[in-house]
Amino acid sequence: MDRIPTAFYDQLCDNLSTDELSAAKELSGKCGKIARFLLENYADYSVKVVDGREEDGFLLYDYDNRRVHEPQVIKAAPKKLVQVVTINLIDANDEKVSREIVRRFPYSYYGFVHHSSSINEAWVDLANSLETLGVVTIMKELDNEALRLFQKLVISRKLTLLAIHRETLNRGIMEVSKSLLCQDQFDYLSIINKIDEHWNGAEVREILDLWSENSDQLKGKVLLLQKICLGGVLKLENFLKERKMSAASGILLRSKVQIENALTLCSQEECDFIKMEYNNLLFVFEKPSCFYKFEEGEAGNKRQFYVSFDCADEETRDEEGGRQQRGYPNFFGQQDLSLIWKTTCLHLLFVSREIVRRFPYSQHNFVHCSSSINQAWVDLAYSLKRLGSVTITKELDDDALRLFQKLVTSQKLTRLAIHAEACNTATMELSRTLFCQDQFIQLDIINEIDEHWNGIEVREILDLWSENSAQLKGKVLLLRDMCRGGIIQLENFLKERKTSTLPRNEVQIETVLTHCSKKECDFIRMEYNYSLFAFEKPSCFYKFEEGDKGNERRFYVTFECASGETEDESDVETTWKPEEPASFFGQKDLSLMRKTTCLHVLFG
């Protein structure tokens, strides 16, 4: 096995969990060696920022909980193995240190802990700019100005994890939390109560009521209570009692409903499904419970949430001593619900309506062959975790456009395909809106029948890029079938951009688009791998670039060089090759672009 390249083992081990690495380190050869190295060097970095200065930085190694404070050792640590960087903001003074720390650890997730009641606007800008923003923790009750600034971060839809300490809870922060729970990208709300033994848990009831009103929007979201959880457990029990009472067909005494008969044990099959479907949202406990479920609704339209908790309270920790093997909740976990009253960690995982699907693990694509759209379809698309591409084959009527606008506003769509005959001012306006949304990846324009298509929609997207290139970074425009009208619009656009430096009659597409170097081709294939398109006979990568040095912007053009005119069926059988993306070794003949049946524009 040592004949296999080291790069393969590097990639393999990068994708293994800590438990899997622990097993892999026992292997001989390269794989075991790499696994041991990774396991011993995975670390988190924590630091304080005080009055614009960096203080008390240290590395915490995952494998043995070892702390390292020496600056030389921290500097020499492999940056790719520093997984989480936590920056403790002790005050809200102006500072540049946080940005410098982020630059030093470019491969990490970045968590921020606010120890002040104020927030700096520069921090909001920094958080908004991060692609790997981790958990944000609020330790003190925020003042009005800080809430206003924090709201800007909420509106940007960048936050996925928020932790709030009990003493910070007020009406403003709860409204922010509920707003976050209804955003698609958000995953986790943690409430930490370290000091208030008399906390009544009212905030937990607010979240449960939100779920009862908006269960579809809270699908796959987590509420986590940590430390002193009793008030929250009481609110959970009261909520369950009320739901059971309202659903009871006969007379049911409230005193007869206890948490033990409102929650049911999950089967092993359901436990396995939860761990597979929601693995990244589960919490590791010192002594895990099994999974419990609350479920309501009629068959085929049920909704539920799952409850799990740590069965190791402070008393049992003292008795048993030492740190035990931690783990996820599972079917073989502790099956004693009475332990929930003493837990120091309670985990609620919300799941929306139970839709009976034959293919629950698939990505779901939709093709609209009508000019109308159903409201129920919009609701279904909105609720899906794996919404794939949506294709529009006919021009939508006004009501359908209004409904489709709701899906666009939800920021769920990643891929949209529009047939040329469905294109009009309204659908192009929606397409431009989608292009400026972070989650959106690709717009396809498919022209199967119109040989005289003028491709004006292509020009609209290119003009959008010229005005908003930063927002279109990493997005794709794909033309399919009869592409000539779109290619003419691309040529005209490129000529107009170049006439500032050359006479228009001297500008040809061959002089505007340049071959990418092998280094740049390799970079594109690594950086934008999931945005590339596989061709039967791929071109090389061509590039259009403009702007001053250090401030350039560019897009990459590739296309299918197999026109399909020269091959008969027997040729196809004998010469067939697997399709592959463009590369440095692709066809270097730009004249073939004018006959292509597939043109790919990647905005860099």
Average confidence (pLDDT) over 370-378:
83
Q: How far apart are CA 191 and CA 25, in angstroms?
A: 37
Compute the mean pLDDT over every residue in the chain, rounded to the nearest whole number: 85
pLDDT reading at 129 higher than 90: yes
Q: What pairing do the DSSP bridges indicate for beta strands 553-559 and 542-546?
A: antiparallel
Q: How does residue 275 score in pLDDT terms, banded at 50, 70 and 90?
A: confident
What confidence score (pLDDT) does residue 240 get? 93
Q: How far apart are CA 253 and CA 255, in angstroms?
A: 5
**Tokens of residue 123, six digits:** 């921090």
Three-point CA angle 530, 180, 391, nearest 5°? 40
Q: How far apart are CA 402 and CA 1, in angstroms?
A: 58
pLDDT reading at 339 higher than 90: yes
State pLDDT tens for residues 131-178.
999 999 999 999 999 999 999 999 999 999 999 999 999 999 999 999
Tell me the domain boundaries of the chain.
357-561+579-603
Identify the residue whose tokens are 């692709």: 586
- Out of 53-62, 131-140, 265-274, 416-425, pick the least confident: 265-274
Contact between 207 and 241 (Cβ < 8 Å): no
Handedness of CA 415, 420, 423, 429 (dihedral sign): positive
Q: How does residue 385 score in pLDDT terms, banded at 50, 70 and 90?
A: confident
Average confidence (pLDDT) over 308-313:
91
Q: How far apart are CA 398 and CA 304, in angstroms?
A: 36
pLDDT reading at 519 higher than 70: yes
Report the side by side order of strands in the sheet with 476-481. 364-368, 387-392, 415-419, 442-447, 476-481, 598-603, 553-559, 542-546, 514-515
Residue scoring higher pLDDT (305 or 356) = 305
pLDDT reading at 569 higher than 50: no
Q: Nearest CA to 457 among 415, 426, 436?
A: 426
Q: How far apart are CA 145 and CA 317, in angstroms?
A: 42
User: Residue 504: which residues within 8 A CB-CB, separation 6 or more?
Assistant: 495
pLDDT reading at 23 higher than 70: no
Q: How far apart are CA 204 and CA 193, in angstroms?
A: 12
| Beta bridge pairs of residue 138 | 114, 164
The half-sphere exposure of 362 on its side-chain side, counting CA atoms within 13 A, is 7
Q: Nearest CA to 396 among 365, 432, 427?
A: 427
3-state secondary structure of 246: helix
Residue scoring higher pLDDT (9 or 451) = 451
> Full-prediction pTM beyond 0.75?
no
Average confidence (pLDDT) over 403-417:
91
Q: How far apart are CA 161 and CA 535, in angstroms?
A: 40
User: Residue 229: which residues within 8 A CB-CB, separation 6 or more?
Assistant: 193, 343, 344, 345, 346
pLDDT reading at 394 higher than 60: yes
Average confidence (pLDDT) over 103-112:
95
Average confidence (pLDDT) over 345-349:
98
Helix (H) or strand (E) holding 41: helix 29-41
What confidence score (pLDDT) does residue 255 get? 54
